[in-house]
Amino acid sequence: MEMERAVGQIATGLRASSSNEMQNDPKMHFAWLSKLGEAWKDWCERTTLVCNILVLLDQRYLLEQSELPSLWNLGMDLFKHSVCLGDEIESRIETSITQVCNMMRQTKSNEYKQLHTTLLPIFTTLDLYDSLENVLLAATRSYFGALSSASIADHSVNAYLVQADELVQQEKEYATWLYNDKAGGSKNLKIVYEQLITQHAEKLIGDLSNLLSNAENSMPALALLYAFLLDVKKLPPLRTAFGQYIREQGEKIVLDSEKDETMIERLLEYKSTIDQIVSNAFKSDEGFLQTQKDNFETFVNKRQNKPAELIAKFLDSRLRSGNKTMSDQEMEHVLNEALVLFRYTHAKDMFEEFYKRLFAKRLLLNRSASSDAEQSMLLKLKEECGAAFTQKLETMLTDIALSDEMIKAYNSSKEKILEQQGSIEPFELNVNVLTQAHWPTYPQVEIIIPQEMAAATERFAKFYETRNQGRTLHWTHSLGTTSITAQFAKAGEKELLVSTFQAVVLLLFNTLPSGAKLTYGQIKQQTGLEEKELKRTLQSLACGQIPTRVLRKEPQGKEVNESDQFAVNEQLKNERKRIRINMIQLNETQEEQKSTVDRVMFDREMVLQATAVRILKAKKTIKHAELLQEIVQAIASRFTVDVGEIKKAFEILIDKEYMERVEGQRGMYRYLA
């Protein structure tokens, strides 16, 4: 009865010190909880004193009365039911703890930590910890629910994620002392994530495109978004949104036909940005790496054949000697990155054809930046696509090497012949002898070359025939280059690096008096060049950049007309000793491009037919769907085609009597030997 009276006084005092005025004043709640903590401490001390005084009662009489509690347990039970679970006090405890926790989170103050360490034993000792934990978790849910809704409405996603990270780190620290065990802290953090992230995941992911568009400044926020969604198991929607962004932005680059010249540079820059995002923000997550690969492959092939063609041209521009800006390491990096784009393309046969033609020009015109870089690229392509892919390219290199040996032998024999004849050759001749089957086909353009040049080619032809009986040489002057020494009135002596066509035209002016002119018709008659080639040649000599206009056209203009007249430009100004005039054969014409594409499309038809026949020959009879599937699988590494193209190949093979439809069996084909 005495203990009940004493605990009743404590309860009365606590009830008296609580009032409605406390509702909105966290400091008053803090003070009230301090009184509760002091009351608990005082009660424990007084109960301990009673137990010590009545120790014999506790250890003898009460120990034998199983239905009666010990003095200590009696004191704890009285405090539990009269104070902690008493009228008004129980709800006041819940309200005060909630208010003080809210104040702690708002002010980021650790003042409550010391008080809480005195309150926690009350709940653990009196078996009320579960109730305390529920109060703390409810306070967390309420606080962060309201905070997150207001914050995400007032802040950008970038700012919101930064704030969320600060709050999470803060809660991790609070959880170490708010709860009695790690389990409680884990529950608390789960609620924080739920309110800050899970509840707003759709909006956070919905703003992903804005973060990605400004990735350089948003990288920390992207990393936080990934980490948060990983913790709440929401990565699949993020991957989907990421893939959609990659695809949409990539399609804008690929489908913008007006900017084809810079498509590959823009794709590589875009890929570099995405690589950094996946590496730095998404921690090289396998799922995101696969998402990147799949979506790059999708948008790169949105425009059939064109990216493959442009990749080949991009590599040509980097491997040409005109590229002086990159170190060996940078060159290797560019080749590797371009190779990644090449892997994404389905039209590998288109790439192969364009690369082969451009590779051939680099070799023939001696325009490769580095033989090591060329060999490195061949090795990469060989590893990527197999030996058959690079076989012709390697044969081209062999032809160039053999030509070097042959020209050395020719020069030795030529000197003896000229010495016997008592004559000299006013220039140095270099010839590349190519195996026709391994090189691209080039149009034969008729031209009347000067007598000295014609005599030199005739001497080489005879020399070649004596070494290779039964073989015939076909001269392709459209690929020839010439170095001419020229004397200009103002510019002085210059070395002109020109094509054979340009050289033939320039040499017409060699015997004319200063200032003499030739008409378009005269030049055409003396060179024998067809109209299209002659106009291109004259345009490059007289209408190009001012420092390279070695001829002067009257009347002036960008186009060459049949009524024009031409003379040597004695007013030429150029400080360089060597002047390289635009090599027209380096610039692929529309006709050449169309011819290359047509050749690839024709080869595809032949490949489809050959593949179908090979499968039919092995199977003898096969269903339509199965034959389609096997053909698609067989050609997948080279190119992709519509089903309609394959069906067209079937009809051709039926007409050619390589296969037939089996009567009475719908959709069945039979091979005809």
Give kind and range of the element (H or E) at residue 586. none
In whole angstroms, what is the distance from residue 83 CA to residue 36 CA? 9
Q: What is the pLDDT of residue 545?
A: 84
What integer best gives the mean pLDDT of the chain? 88
Backbone phi, then psi, for 490, in 5-degree steps? -95, -40
Q: Tens of pLDDT along 507-536?
A: 999 888 888 899 999 999 999 999 988 998
Q: Tens of pLDDT along 132-164?
A: 999 999 999 999 999 999 999 999 999 999 999
Q: Tens of pLDDT along 420-446?
A: 666 677 788 899 998 888 888 777 888
Q: What is the pLDDT of residue 490?
A: 84
Higher pLDDT: 586 or 268? It is 268
Please state whether the peptide bond connecting residue 555 to the residue before it is cis, i.e. omega within 30 degrees of 0: yes
Sign of CA dihedral 283, 289, 295, 301: positive
pLDDT at 646 over 90: no
Q: Tens of pLDDT along 549-595?
A: 889 999 888 888 999 999 999 888 888 898 888 754 444 556 667 77
Q: Tens of pLDDT along 32-54?
A: 999 999 999 999 999 999 989 98
Q: Which residues pair with 479 in a beta bridge?
A: none
Higher pLDDT: 661 or 248? It is 248
Contacts of 457 (CB under 8 A, 6+ apart): 429, 449, 475
pLDDT at 6 over 60: yes
Q: What is the mean pLDDT of residues 300-304?
A: 90
* Rg of the chain over all Cα atoms, to the nearest angstrom: 44
Give residue 622's pLDDT band: very low, low, confident or very high (50, 70, 90). Answer: confident
Q: Which of 243-247, 409-413, 491-495, 636-640 has the lowest mean pLDDT?
A: 636-640
Euclidean distance between the first and final Cα of the chain, in Å? 114
In whole angstroms, what is the distance from residue 261 CA to residue 245 CA? 24
Percent of the chain with pLDDT over 70: 96
Q: What is the mean pLDDT of residues 447-463?
A: 88
Q: What is the mean pLDDT of residues 202-231?
A: 93
Helices (H), 255-278: 263-276
Q: Tens of pLDDT along 107-119?
A: 988 889 999 999 9
Q: Which of 74-78, 96-100, 183-187, 628-632 has the lowest mean pLDDT?
A: 628-632
Prediction pTM value: 0.78
Q: Cβ(340)–Cβ(292) under 8 Å?
A: no
Q: Cβ(234)–Cβ(201) under 8 Å?
A: yes
Q: Kind of pairing, strands 492-499 and 621-623?
A: unpaired
The full set of domains in the chain, from first to last, is 2-202 (no CATH), 211-386 (1.20.1310.10), 400-477 (no CATH), 480-588 (3.30.230.130), 591-671 (1.10.10.10)
- The identity of residue 220, as a single letter, is P
Q: What is the pLDDT of residue 426?
A: 76
Classify residue 96 as exposed, middle or buried by CB count within 10 Å of its CB (0-12, 13-18, 19+).
buried
Q: What is the pLDDT of residue 21?
A: 58
Q: What is the pLDDT of residue 661?
A: 87
SS3 469: coil
Higher pLDDT: 73 or 436? It is 73
Q: What is the pLDDT of residue 599?
A: 80
Q: What is the pLDDT of residue 42?
A: 95
Q: What is the mean pLDDT of residues 56-73?
A: 81
Q: What is the pLDDT of residue 422?
A: 62
Output the DSSP codes for 125-136.
Answer: HTT-HHHHHHHH
Q: What is the pLDDT of residue 586?
A: 43
pLDDT at 474 over 90: no
Sign of CA dihedral 576, 578, 580, 581: positive
Q: What is the pLDDT of residue 139?
A: 95
Token pair recorded at residue 17: 């010190």
Q: Which of 35-49, 311-325, 398-412 has the lowest mean pLDDT?
A: 311-325
Q: What is the mean pLDDT of residues 243-263?
A: 94
